[in-house]
Chain A
Amino acid sequence: MNVVVCVKQIPDPADPGALDPNTKTLKRDVKLILDESDSYGVEMALQLVDTAGGGEVTLVSMAPNSEVGGLRTALAMGAAKAVLVSDEALAGSDALGTSKVLAKAIERAGEADLIITATESSDGYTGTVPEQIAELMGLPSITFAKSIAVEGGTVKVQRQTEAGYDDVEAPTPAVVSVTAGVVEPRYPSFKGIMAAKSKPVDEVTVADLGIDASQVGWAGAGQEILEIAAAEEREAGTIVEDDGEGFQKIVDYLAELKVI
């Protein structure tokens, strides 16, 4: 079974990020790492291929400056190869522009039984790319997967809900977005790190994918960020002195919040 996983390479969330005041977007000219949200999808894909007893995992990523840092991590985890789209024309792409590029890159990655994505990226949080890719490719879309199994030509997903989960099925190929934290991503092993050095990364431009540059980047963006502002400071909490009745005050407070 062949699985394509869309992975985003993002600035390390542990570092102080900076916004570009002109474009009002996150500065991404720093070293990028694998978005942790995507490590769950990579793990699920590797497990699915293991279970199927054959096939491979291919990564698809769109990133500036030919960045491969995050791809190498996922290749070291066990993915076989990657398609990287890197092109100056892509700067400023909105979610739809990104989806158009990823959809074409997925086609380039070869026959896939399944396309896995995260639910949302940790630096952009639009949470719309998976469904847009599915629509553009004319494939079924299943979101919020907590487990995935493929049997015959059917993908069976436990779809996370507030109350528990729904069992959902779709014919393959399908686009499935995975909830963060549902599997424990493996560590990239040292053998994996050594092997990753020689795994192929197919770097392509927008033109290679047959996309008109006016459809993507600032040129093609259907949305514009008008203003950015710092988040409001969190209000100071309330301090409850324990006069022997402290527990009651906590219970009352939780009741007020309708938590209990």
Chain B
Amino acid sequence: MSAKRIPGEVDPLDVLAIDSLLSDEELLGRDTVRRFVADKVLPEVGVWFDEGRFPAEMAKEFGALGLLGMHLEGYGCAGVSATQYGLACLELEAGDSGVRSFVSVQGSLAMFPIWAFGSEEQKTTWLPGMAAGELIGCFGLTEPDSGSDPGSMRTTARQDPSGDWILDGTKMWITNGSVADVAVVWARTDPDGPDAGKVRGFVVPTDTAGFSAPEIHRKVSLRASVTSELVLDSVRLPASAVLPEVSGMRGPLSCLNEARFGISFGACGAARACYEAALEYAGQRVQFDRPIASFQLTQRKLVEMMVAVQRGTLVALHVGRMKDLGTLASPQISFAKMDNVRMALEVAREARSVLGANGITTEYPVIRHMNNLESVYTYEGTNEVHTLILGNAITGIPAFG
């Protein structure tokens, strides 16, 4: 894949030779995930999407490969670099955004808070099984009336005199909710209690009485991914269920930063898959006695797509290197998430047009990616929210409320 090319020639799938910026180890990891996706995801994912399901067995395969919580150290996790984690997200999302979502949620949203803010007991109880894919996690922040403004959440956590916590409320749009063994749930504490109304995180085994997670149906996006509601009806948890090391919105927001980082790579994968599908199709489809790739209008589409994918990948790689150096600031993550997902959606739409009528069926990957990317555009901070974060970063004036 990282071919030494004849001087003067370029690889149509990597025109800027971005691969040459990756180490041998990064290439080995990247190529392994690419092969895994080609073997295990691509042959099936169209069917999963059509049927609106994600096979739970895949979790163990992800675990065996070391994809789950791969950027965390210890507790059965591989401890790879942020860049390597990003490259894995890129390859997974070249398969399907839903498949990448599973890995992001498990690693960055469910395992990360336990790893970063959990007690030793919470870590040893949950992380090894989650790394192996034997236990599935989910992350409950969004609520029916609280999306872009998660600080407005209504889910409450009350501590009774015995020290037990009692959780009440509803979470919405929760990836993996119905298949999860454990939910990391964020809830507001009693304003008069010891936490003075701050948001705290709770590790909730999903078999706890009062917890249920009905699946959300009728989605036309991210269909190869389970999305659920979490209903918390007087869910009683021991005092040890709270994540001890964090309070306030910093907790959930730091998890989101981890996941958003992965998405900025992932979006490039979805975009690359659309570009590759369009390039191949345009070379084969003949109209007016010539392959449609020979029309100037089509070439322009292909070139614009290629340039967008390459540019987005460079942005992702750059933030990856900064994250590994420990210098990455959260507006920079917003830059990469906002711009790369927007880019991917535009590439998907352009690719869709190149495929003509074939572009509207799930026989080809393009419209699946296009529909998926609508979710990716909205979750993990909408395009607008990231614009406002950057607006605040460059003007110093918050414009959220």
Contacts and interface: CB of A to CB of B under 8 A. Distances in A.
B317 to A, nearest CB: 18
B24 A69 contact: yes
Nearest to B39: A187
A211 interface: no
B70 A190 contact: yes
A76 B65 CA distance: 11
Interface stretch (B78-86, B109-117, B163-171, B269-277): B78-86
Contacts of A15: 3-4
B28 A72 contact: yes
Contact of A193 (B2, B6, B25, B35): B25
Given A12-B3, A31-B4, A194-B78, 17 more contacts: A14-B1, A16-B3, A30-B4, A69-B24, A72-B28, A187-B35, A187-B36, A189-B64, A190-B84, A190-B88, A192-B66, A193-B25, A193-B28, A193-B66, A194-B79, A194-B80, A197-B25
A191 interface: yes
Contacts of A69: 24, 28
A176 B6 CA distance: 39
Contacts of B248: none
A76 B78 CA distance: 12
Interface string B1-19: 1111010000000000000
A72 B24 contact: yes
A220 interface: no
Given A31-B2, A194-B80, A189 B65 contact: yes
Interface in A168-202: 187-194, 197
Contacts of A73: 28
Contacts of A76: 28
A191 B4 CA distance: 28
A190 B24 contact: no
Contact of A190 (B3, B35, B67): B67
B197 interface: no
A72 B27 CA distance: 11
B29 interface: yes
A73 B2 CA distance: 15
22 contacts: A16-B3, A30-B3, A30-B4, A31-B4, A72-B24, A72-B25, A187-B32, A187-B36, A187-B64, A187-B65, A188-B28, A189-B65, A190-B65, A190-B66, A190-B67, A190-B70, A190-B88, A191-B78, A193-B29, A193-B32, A194-B80, A197-B25
Contacts of B64: 187, 189
A189 B4 contact: no
B13 to A, nearest CB: 12
Interface string B371-400: 000000000000000000000000000000
Nearest to B131: A191
Interface string A60-92: 000000000100110010000000000000000
Nearest to B29: A193
A189 B1 CA distance: 19
A191 B3 contact: no
Nearest to A27: B4
Interface centre among B1, B6, B66, B88 (most CB of A within 10 A): B66
A22 B289 CA distance: 44
A33 to B, nearest CB: 9
Interface string A7-40: 0000010111000000000000011000000000
Contacts of A12: 1, 3
Interface in B1-58: 1-4, 6, 24-25, 28-29, 32, 35-36
A15 to B, nearest CB: 4
Contact of B66 (A16, A191, A197): A191
Contacts of A197: 25
A76 B32 CA distance: 11
A191 B64 CA distance: 9
A166 B111 CA distance: 51
A256 to B, nearest CB: 32
B351 to A, nearest CB: 24
Interface in A244-260: none
A34 to B, nearest CB: 10
Contacts of A188: 28, 32
B81 to A, nearest CB: 10
The 4 closest A-B pairs by CB, nearest first: A190-B66, A190-B78, A15-B3, A189-B66
Interface in B162-181: none
A28 B289 CA distance: 42
A18 to B, nearest CB: 9
A213 to B, nearest CB: 29
Contacts of B78: 189-191, 193-194
